[in-house]
Amino acid sequence: MSLPRGRACLDCRRRKVKCDGAAPACSRCVAAGHGSDCEYTDTDSVSRIKILEDNIVNLEAKIARLEHEQSKSTRNAHSRPLPDIQIPGRGVVSPNPSAKTTFRLVPATLHSISSHPDLPPDWWIKPVLPLEVARLLIDIFAPHAFNYGFFLHGPRFLQHMFPPDNSSPSLPLSLISVVYLWGIHLSGHHSLMAHEESFLNRAIMNVLKSQQPHHIVPNIQAEVLLAHYFLRKGKFNSAMHHLNSAISHSVACGLHQLGSQHTGANFALPPPSDSLEFGERLDAFWAIVLFHKSWVVALQWPSRISTILDDMIYAPFPLEMSYYESGSFKFLPQKEPTLRQFLDYPENDGVTSDLAVSVQLLSISDEIIQFHTFDRRLSDFIKTLPPIESYPERFRHSWLVSNSSVQAAIIQLHSAMNEPKSREKCLQAAEKIGLMIHTIPHELEHVNPILGTMWFAACRVFIPVLSQLAKVPVTEETVIETARIKVLLKTVLEAMTTYGTDCALMYSRLGHAMELCQEHEIQL
């Protein structure tokens, strides 16, 4: 007897063959060896196999939908703008514009960070910080980097610091840890500054351990930044130690004779890979010279090292970073020591680099401290200098430091001469120092601590002059002159108060200035 329609097993129905309807498995399924899979159903129920098949279809559809959403998310991630990170120091282009980057590099600008920065837990433990914390600290440091001796090419530094493949930075820990330290120190946030001491110890340890020859320039950068840090904290011996270490490293590898035919380095650096690396080496040496001469002039410590260096330097004056970026520059070998040749003929020879001009100004200032015969030459050279308006805004702080140091040197030169002309020159120099304070942007939170000694030099001129004016008969002329000098003195003291809150050197000089006011009974 044939089975009623719809009563055959599922396998026979699928194969469209006759089924005998035997239970629990039909003869065909048993003969084919898959009797255990033989299954019957009626029209009113759904079989187990059909349910599984439907589940498979649903899962496949879900997989396809998830794959589509993932692909869409990936496309959106590629089109989403990269987060910004500020370029520390100098440099405006990427050494490899086509290379992928973790961040979008932008020029540094002064800005405030959140009062409660979003920090991951235990962010301070690892030597290389989490990406978002490292970016925050560099953003804090970047606008002030050049003022504290950062001479590296900013975009290249960031590419080494944040490789696009999220691998470890290719910079030595000595430099990384000191940059972290500066970011924490300048942040003004308790959540960051609570770890400043531990980051200082970490930086010192990494600087001591990092002696690889192929990292000589980054290690010199770390020493210079650490020296500036200790100077800002008022720890002069520690600052001088790291500055002398930077000088030793630079001379040992021949940076003072870079590009010349002179030899004598203890070990030779490999040839620079490109013009940018050459420029970084050149800037490294001149940044050290600038720092050392700033120290000599501002603190009035005549230095044999400075004199010896002047006779050893054959490296050409540095250029603006844009020349290194373009590769379009040539240096002629120096036949005479660079600074000695300049000091013999201190005309402005067309060198427009802010670093070069600063070195030249301080080199003359250094000579003024030791030789009083440079007064006329200095006056002639100052007349050839470009005005502050010709400098990019973020480099005007360097102009302020260099020009203030020159005026402080003039005060030092003439203060020992008790004659009307010298007193007049001291007062004119002090007035220029006071007026230059007005060039400081209001949003600038930190200045070079060296300015504290220069501003104090101006106070030492203003206060005795006011004391002397108080002893002469009152006339319209003396009243106007007293009011004018009081305004200048108040400007200087207010600047020292503003920037002395977190700078030990500035605060110390402010205290001496206030004691001098009390001694001469000056009322402001």
For the stretch 22-72, pLDDT in tens is 888 898 888 888 887 888 776 455 556 666 666 677 777 777 777 666 555
* 319 three-state secondary structure: coil
HSE, side-chain direction, 13 A CA sphere, residue 408? 28
- pLDDT at residue number 75: 45
CA distance 453 to 404: 10
Q: Which residues of the chain have pLDDT under 50?
A: 43, 73-80, 373
CA angle centred on 506, ends 143 and 231, rounded to 5°: 70
- pLDDT at residue number 125: 87
Q: What share of the chain is helix, strand, coil (3-state, %, to 5)?
A: 60, 0, 35
Query: Does the predicted TM-score (pTM) go above 0.75?
Result: no
Q: Are 484 and 469 in contact (CB under 8 A)?
A: no
Distances in whole angstroms, Cα of residue 314 to Cα of each of 138, 258, 341, 381, 405:
34, 7, 10, 22, 25
- pLDDT at residue number 74: 44
115: left (phi over 0), alpha (psi -120 to 50) or beta: alpha
- pLDDT at residue number 1: 58
Q: Which helix (H) or strand (E) holds 115?
A: none
Q: Domains of the chain, with CATH numbers?
A: 1-45 (4.10.240.10)
**Average pLDDT, whole number, for the chain?**
82
